[in-house]
Chains A and B, each alone.
Chain A
Amino acid sequence: MSSSNDTNSGLIQVKYNDQIVRMFTLATIFWATIAFLVGIIIALQMAVPQLNLTGWLTFGRLRPLHTNAALFAFAGNAIFAGIYHSTQRLLKTRLFSDGLSKLHFWGWQFIIVLAVITLPLGISQGKEYAELEWPIDISIVLIWVVFAINFFGTLLRRNERHLYVAIWFYIATIVTVALLYIVNAICIPVGLFQSYIVYAGIQDALIQWWYGHNAVAFFLTTPFLGLMYYYLPKASNRPVYSYRLSVVHFWSLIFMYIWAGPHHLLNTALPGWLQILATVFSVMLWAPSWGGAVNGILTLRGAWHLLRTDPIIKFFVAAITFYAMATFEGPLLSIKAVNSLGHYTDWIVGHVHLGTLGWNGFLTFGMLYFIVPKLWNTELYSKKMANIHLWIGILGILFYYVSMLAAGITQGLMWRAVDANGQLVYPDFVETVIRIIPLFLFRALGGVLFLAGYVLLLYNVYKTIKQAPKELVEETVQVRISSSTPIHPERGHRKLEGMAAAFTILALIAILVGSIIEIAPTLSINKYVKTENKVEPFTPLELAGRDIYVKEGCYTCHSQMIRTIQSDVLRYGAASTIEESMYDRPFQWGSKRTGPDLARLGKKYPDLWHYMHMEDPRAVIKESIMPAYPWLITSKIDFDSLQKKVSLFNKLGVPYSDEDLSDANNRAKEQAKKIADVLKSQGVKEDVSDKKITALIAYLQALGQKGGE
């Protein structure tokens, strides 16, 4: 090192806060178990709908639990553990505040517990990966701010002049996630457990996917790249392949990622220029993404023997490989033609899991096998077990991915198959479902294998910790206070690495450019909404029904967006327009069609059909895999809150009539009575005029019937 003959600079002792890292490590391990288990349950529910045992265990409620647990509980805790562990060492200083660290830890676990309770109860904002209701949203933002203060405070007290590439990624993560989360969650509460998002229709769609896509970018990619840049060179004891590549791919990645959100809305009613921007930036993301993968893999040059002997390196290499696969597939799926086949199918589900199980999962497992022995001052209990974990895990991921790829492409092709008369070959939706049920079972098997491997990790970690010495000492290092002036004059990026604040601001600017260009036009003016297409708002009863639709998570299986492609129009009717959903809060365009699109469902079937179908879908469609919703027939509509909701919507610009505004409650009751009377005359025994089912039927029958085409 340069300072080898330095004699006059002082030495100080730095004691790292490893206790907090241990806590986050254990939390990661615990919550991962829950996230994986819930994943397996919902995978089985797709094949065996009878497993939707009771209301709070239905697919529509558990799926948000699974995604939130995977994202915030598993990945979140892993990120915190890794960031706190590596940052202290990279900056040669103890974390800024022990108190804030503890607050961060317990606050985050409390949030997760709240999520685990509220999501199965159907308390949900109905926006994917952002289902948590407003009090939890606020807690998340507060705890994130605690994390940010703790992190940037540490940055300011650093005893290392330059910020290493891992830290760059951490900075980008913290800043961007805060921005995404806050902007996407702005809502108006109508009670402790319910709120309406301020954005409507297309605005909400755009912001939701700006958030949703960048949750993948800045929660599942950038922090994990940062972790890779620390743990891979540490575990392999090799220098990073290329500093220049780090610089180039870091900036290009964060700048370009933020633009790609609308690729979740290709071929929809979204304006064409936004779709094309999303395609362009997604395609150009290929090289920056691979930059990280390449820098990781090439770092191992000269250490290939470790790939035979060291399970940790194996996990890292597998993780990077999965990352490279997923980031190649992503750009591919962003091309409109490919997207028209893959979107709404299980292919996308496979794609996501290639990233989450392969990249995030395996990188985390590698990291856990690396830090657990270090944190507990001992050796890993069994390398062999870690090796078996690796192979079972890989097998599980491949099972998962291949079956979902096959299911997605099969179903996608069936949806679009048209015969010589221009008629759909498979007009009966359920036919396309029956075909892929065996693949659902294979997928579940993949999940079981992945979990089985993970159980080995649990045991291995348990044994490792058990053999640890009683007294855990926190690692202490001698740090030479480097003089504040650099040894030689610096230019360009090197100089920037010495200026934490400037670096952070530049990163913020990099992600703001794309965000503002894409989102501002839709927010400031309603320029995409043609006002000559008059749209009627939902009646108060239909609104109550819509709330049920959101709470039950019907959007996890149903879309409400007929795309501008031939087969969609043939199957579901004219393509959806922006106007049709202009009052929808939250928008329910959906992202998955496990069941058919519902945008123009209204009047397709008689009310009684819906009644029987909701009570037990299999009584009507034998092979249906939709959950049964019998409790909707017995639980009551919340008429009393309607008044408040209608006037809130009115304030937000939804044109309700004076009668609706002054008497929402009774108007809803009247409409419900009419529906219930007809049902009764057709043989329904119970009086359902005040039951949830009636509101839901009213809503379903109103879909596509409000004008705006």
Chain B
Amino acid sequence: MSEDKTPLYDDKILEGYEYDGITEYDNPCPVWLLYIFYFTALLAVFFLGYHFGGNSKNATIEAYAIKLKEAQTQTPVETSVQKPEVNESELLALLQDPDALAEGGEIFGDQCALCHGYSGEGMIGPNLIDNYWLHGKGKISDIAVSISSGIPDKGMAAWADRIPEQQILHIAAYIKSINGTVTENAKEPDGELVEE
């Protein structure tokens, strides 16, 4: 047996058992480790009681159902996406601004055409040249809101983080300006008809 194995502390080596030079002390399990075990066992009893003792096994599901209901019945709080602080008549002036429209058209071709078609006739996304709107009433500000906050559930991301607000307004004006044009392969209308 190797020399430097003189027990430190008052550990006692278990005599008669040696495996390839390895011996073992006869120490007890550390007390604090046992306390951890008792603690987790208590926790376990608590979890079990919570689960089986409660009068409903679906406590979690019910809790969230209640929460959901509460949230829905509350009066809507002002949403985080605000409508641009500009009035519609100011925006309509953009329709007379060829630079703004050109810029809007360019971005539309780059970013939007793949889903809405080059002429706004609709593909993945809805037709933007008819007078039917899913979101809002087809005013420039409505269109701008759809663009900024997106319709993530339906596959259009929010653009507010990626396109500056000014340019979003220009795109919206561009869409408004092509509204009413006619192309052959236009997609069926979606949403509600808005009478001008």
Contact = CB atoms under 8 A, between A and B. Distances in A.
A418 interface: yes
Given A240-B25, A287-B36, 6 more contacts: A237-B5, A243-B24, A243-B25, A427-B153, A565-B64, A604-B155
Given A284-B44, A575-B61, A241 B80 contact: no
B28 interface: yes
Contact of A609 (B15, B40, B61, B155): B155
Contacts of A488: 16
B26 interface: yes
Contacts of B18: 1
A485 interface: no
Contact of B76 (A272, A421, A575): A421
A14 B78 CA distance: 83
Interface in B16-50: 16-30, 33-34, 36-37, 40-41, 43-44, 47-48
B193 interface: no
Interface stretch (A96-104, A441-449, A464-472, A618-626): A618-626
A427 B26 contact: no
B98 interface: no
A569 B64 contact: yes
Contacts of B52: 273, 276
B157 interface: yes
Interface of A: 1-2, 86, 89-90, 92, 160, 162, 164, 230, 233-234, 237-246, 248-249, 267, 272-273, 276, 279-281, 283-284, 286-288, 290-291, 294, 298, 301-302, 331, 336, 418-423, 425, 427-431, 487-488, 564-566, 569-570, 575, 604-606, 608-609, 612, 619-622, 682-683
Given A240-B25, A427-B152, A428-B150, A89 B36 contact: no
A297 B155 CA distance: 54
Contacts of B155: 604-605, 609, 620
A239 B13 contact: yes
Nearest to A275: B51
A306 to B, nearest CB: 11
Given A276-B47, A683-B123, A242 B114 contact: no
B34 A287 contact: yes
Nearest to A281: B44
A486 to B, nearest CB: 8
Interface in B144-163: 150, 152-155, 157-158, 161-162
A242 B27 contact: yes
Given A421-B74, A683-B123, A566 B64 contact: yes
A246 B24 contact: yes
Given A276-B51, A294-B30, A286 B71 contact: no
Interface string B122-153: 01100000000000000000000000001011
A331 B72 CA distance: 35
B1 interface: yes
A239 B25 contact: yes
Given A239-B24, A240-B22, A428 B157 contact: yes
A606 B22 CA distance: 69
A428 B40 contact: no
Interface of B: 1-2, 4-5, 7-9, 11, 13-30, 33-34, 36-37, 40-41, 43-44, 47-48, 51-52, 57-58, 60-61, 64, 67-68, 70-72, 74, 76-77, 79-80, 114-115, 123-124, 150, 152-155, 157-158, 161-162
B77 A419 contact: yes
Contacts of A281: 44
A280 B44 contact: yes
Contacts of B27: 241-245, 298
A620 B114 contact: yes
A295 B72 CA distance: 55
Contacts, number: 179
Nearest to B38: A287
A283 B29 contact: no
A487 B29 CA distance: 26
Nearest to B5: A239
Given A280-B48, A420-B77, A242 B24 contact: yes
**Residue from B20, B51, B61 whose CB has the most chain A CB atoms within 10 Å:** B20
Contact of A612 (B16, B80, B124, B157): B124
A240 B40 contact: no
A302 to B, nearest CB: 4
A564 B64 contact: yes
A230 B20 CA distance: 9
B19 A244 contact: no
Given A238-B5, A248-B29, A605-B124, A421 B79 contact: yes
A244 B40 CA distance: 21
The 6 closest A-B CB pairs, nearest first, are A422-B71, A287-B37, A428-B152, A242-B27, A243-B24, A164-B19
A604 B151 CA distance: 12
Nearest to A276: B51
A90 B114 contact: no
B114 A619 contact: yes
B39 to A, nearest CB: 8
Contacts of B72: 422
Contact of A2 (B16, B79, B162): B16
A402 B8 CA distance: 38
Contact of A428 (B48, B115, B158): B158
B79 A419 contact: yes
A185 B46 CA distance: 36
A239 B4 CA distance: 11
A689 B79 CA distance: 45
B20 A287 contact: no
B2 A239 contact: no
Contacts of A1: 1, 16, 18
A620 B58 CA distance: 39
Contacts of A419: 77, 79-80
